[in-house]
Amino acid sequence: MALHELSAAEAARRIAAGTLTAEALMQACLERTKARESAVQAWAWLDPEQALAAARSADLAAPRGPLHGIPVALKDVIDTADMPTENGTPLHAGRQPAQDAEVTEQLRAGGAVVMGKTVTTELATYLPGKTRNPWNPAHTPGGSSSGSAAAVAAGMVPLAVGTQVTGSVIRPAAFCGVVGFKPSLGLISRSGVLAQSDLLNHMGGFARSVEDVALLTDAIGGFDAADVASFPRGPGRLHLTAMSEPPRVPRFAFVRTPFWNRSDAETRAALEAVAGLPGVIADEVDLPDDFAAAMDHHKTLCEADIAWNFRFLSSEERTKVSQRLQTVIASGESHTAVSYHAAAAARDRYIGYLATLFDRYDALLTPAAIGIAPASLDSTGDPLFCGTWTLCGTPALTLPTREPKSGMPLGMQLIAGPRDDARLLRTGRWLESRIAASDRRPAFG
């Protein structure tokens, strides 16, 4: 196996054992990037010499954490004191933060090597960047964490960090055929990250296995008093739990959601096939009719919060962003306090109902996207099957399967209760092994 194909966990084990150096691993990732970047265009900023120098420094340092020496890519909305953070807009071209974001600090404190910055959509909203889908460059990679998902899928880097306000981790992970994990709201600090919504802004990660994304989340999770959503918790044990055997066979609630008929036939067939795998226990569960309005409520909160958080844009600057973003900001400014509070109240109702399901089931099984990545570069795809769970702040995990006809990746999504991230990862790893055994997982590369 080529070095760039190693899982983060295996590479970390070899580095710890002295049979692999961080420099050699970084060199392999850079060579893979050189071979694939012209087609994929995942990187917003990458300096190979700086990346190699950081890897050499890791080789000289005492081991500091489970990801010591492992390359990690950061979405270009996450501040880095030694690299530009341009937020996907020419308005911030050349922007150089004075200090690292909290997640950047956490990674570096644990010995990980920040390889570079990956492409985001405009201000992490809707206008696509330059990135292409590694499986077929005529297809979107999804968004807004476009470059993070594509870089991992193309083998350029084993781990990447992204953000999600609607479906910006789960959807690109599904489209690019990698594991995407959006933890519970507040598990990972958002300090030093482009702000869009206190209620909806989530951090998340990309990897090629559940084990790897658990390692990444342990490395960057933790309490931060500067983040209003952050909550106290003990030292990271997500990886330990994820790698343990469930005490019993997990039970899944197969939730089609009110939007099931808007998914394509291949998505429906793939999800039903996974629900029918040997040993999988999945009961069909319908959500109350009230959930049909979830995306409308999400839209109200998201637009209003974006309008508030993007007030830093001057009148002149607002004319220079995309027409779509101008429309979102104007719509957000038109929402009333009453409509905002009604949406927040609906959110509370949804969370309360879901709690009754999680008393009976280890996870909900639902689509991650309408279908495979659309054959278009003009949009990043529809986040219809992601927004409800982002609204509720629940952890979400997407596992890659594939569409037999085209061979393109499809994503299936698992949902657990708020702050039940460890059990979700354990359940996901259990199901991941069944999908791999069924030969429904897309081949790497």
Let me know: does 118 contact 204? Beta carbons within 8 Å: no
168 as an active site residue: the answer is yes
Tokens coding 159: 């781990």
244 as an active site residue: the answer is no
- Which residue is it, tokens 């429906």? 268
Q: How far apart are CA 261 and CA 281, in angstroms?
A: 23
The one-letter amino acid code at 244 reads S
Let me know: does 61 contact 111? Beta carbons within 8 Å: yes
Among 145, 146, 148, 168, the one annotated catalytic? 168
Let me know: does 292 contact 258? Beta carbons within 8 Å: yes
Q: How far apart are CA 9 and CA 430, in angstroms?
A: 17
Q: CB-based contacts of 225: which residues, under 8 Å, 6+ apart?
A: none
End-to-end C-alpha distance for the chain, whole angstroms: 12
Sign of the dihedral through C-alpha 316, 317, 323, 329: negative
Tokens coding 59: 């080789």
* Burial (CB count within 10 angstroms: exposed 0-12, middle 13-18, buried 19+), residue 205: buried
Q: Residue 170, SS3?
A: helix
331 as an active site residue: the answer is no
Q: How far apart are CA 104 and CA 220, in angstroms?
A: 8
Cβ of 93: how many Cβ atoms within 10 Å? 9
Among 7, 144, 148, 230, the one annotated catalytic? 144
Beta strand spans in 260-349 (E): 281-285
Phi–psi pair at 383, nearest 5 degrees? -90, 25
Q: Residue 67, SS3?
A: coil
Q: Residue 409, SS3?
A: strand
What DSSP assignment string belongs to 361-421? -SEEEEESSSSSPPS-SS-----TTTHHHHHHT--EEEEEEE-TTT--EEEEEEE--TT-H
Residues serving a catalytic function are: 75, 144, 168
